[in-house]
Structure 1
Amino acid sequence: MTTPGTDPTPATPTKRAVVTGASSGIGAATVRALIADGWLVTGLARREGRLAELAAETGCDYVVADITSPDSVAAAVDALTAHGPIHALVNNAGGALGSDRVDAANLDQWQRMYELNVLGTVRMTNALLPALRETAGSIVVVTSTAAHEPYEGGGGYVAAKYAERVAARTLRLELVGEPLRVMEIAPGMVHTEEFSLVRFAGDQGKANAVYEGVPNPLTAADIAEAIRWSLSLPAHVNVDSLVVRPVAQASYTKTHRLPAQS
């Protein structure tokens, strides 16, 4: 019984999610959205200072790890599984580097993008699959609309994201018959504090130009809500692929921009 006019004691969360790339942008926003929805969340990223700030803000747990390092992921998985059952893995860590044409490709950047976006996602997924099988859990892979259509100057990123998408789709086929969900969320133009800045090696002018004149690009919170919603659906519902763009962006090569003000 509860006293009239008082709120009942909140139920203890029973679902737990691991979110990679949680130190900023979509990852940090996803931690916030899932905690607000009643999840226990462990954020994973390389930057401990950022994770500690997020933990102080939200009450999440965190584990410091580099998903491109097998040893780092192995140590992280030991820590993650020690925290209790895992019901969802959100593979959000990723990123773009450069905007060279294919005939002028910086192969070091291509390799780094592949290691982060593709191998990192597969490494984390494979490492946590045993734990997810125990809970009939969910795997979310945050790709990009770059995984669905090419664009000039995006060859390395497109190749990496397409490979990440295909890996997720193949896993979905291979897991049919098991009570596991594999979901892809593919964001279009999202204005976060770091994505374009990292892509252009800290050049703020180039980063700002990506969004210049675009009315209302997506925010990290918009994509976090798509992830939260997908995970909130009944266990028999699988969001195979969800493309999310701002209204101003019809495709990578067709985006409405307002004229510059004089």
Structure 2
Amino acid sequence: MTTASAPPPTSPSPESTPAPVGTLLREWRGRRRLSQLELALRADSSARHISFIETGRSRPSQEMVLRLAEHLDIPVRERNALLIAAGYAPTFPETPLNDPSMAALRSSMDHLLTCYEPFPALVVDGTYNVHAANQAITTLLTGIDESLLQQQPLNAMRLTMHPRGLAPRIRNYLEWRGHLLHQMERQLALLRSAPLRALYEEVSGYPLPEGGRESAAAGDHAPFALPMMIEHDGTVLSFISTITTFNTPMDVTVSELAVETFLPANPETAARLHTLTP
């Protein structure tokens, strides 16, 4: 039986007193398992200078903060937090997706989702709110409690794990639930996101669906990845999910967008999808 791992340790909320930039950089260096010397070599600096920054004896320049953040592969939102902690203005904007300047991006994502038909695909943000979805996703959501579908914005994690959502129809629910919660835990280890933590605490506390199975039969598993096996209209559809993000994002909103696609894990599912989606 697969179960979710223990909740991740509590991270500081955005409302708490900001830590000094040196403390934040030391924490990120620890997460990346780099020594001061290794980071210095990558950032064309010296271990002595890195040490002085981390202990607060030296204030890094804006350029140095961004350079260290780049070599530590720090998320864009957290790079802004580092700049603020160092006394600088944030560099990366956070543009609402419905802003006119995002029109080309929205159009491109809609086109991409359409191209994935008849396979399900959707666009979510950093807290799994759904910003766009294709017709195949809508087909899979048939039969979900109407009250869940009326909540705006729709949330992919809530729709999947709620006992009146997709959960009762997912045959390997405990395994899939464990996968989703672990995915959220990895994000919480990187982001100080109060909304994401609140969502995690909500969905991890949902009761298991009545009559749900512990796991699927071993023969039903795809040999190369954990599938999501979901009952739909009297048949079982098996999907492998993939997640696509943007390379080198320069905007916080764009950096947290992800296109999730569900590809058929077997020929039977592929054939059935072609009959479900007009």
Q: TM-score, normalised by structure 2?
A: 0.27
Q: Which has the higher strand share?
A: 1
The higher radius of gyration belongs to 2
Higher relative contact order (CA 8 A, sep 6+): 2
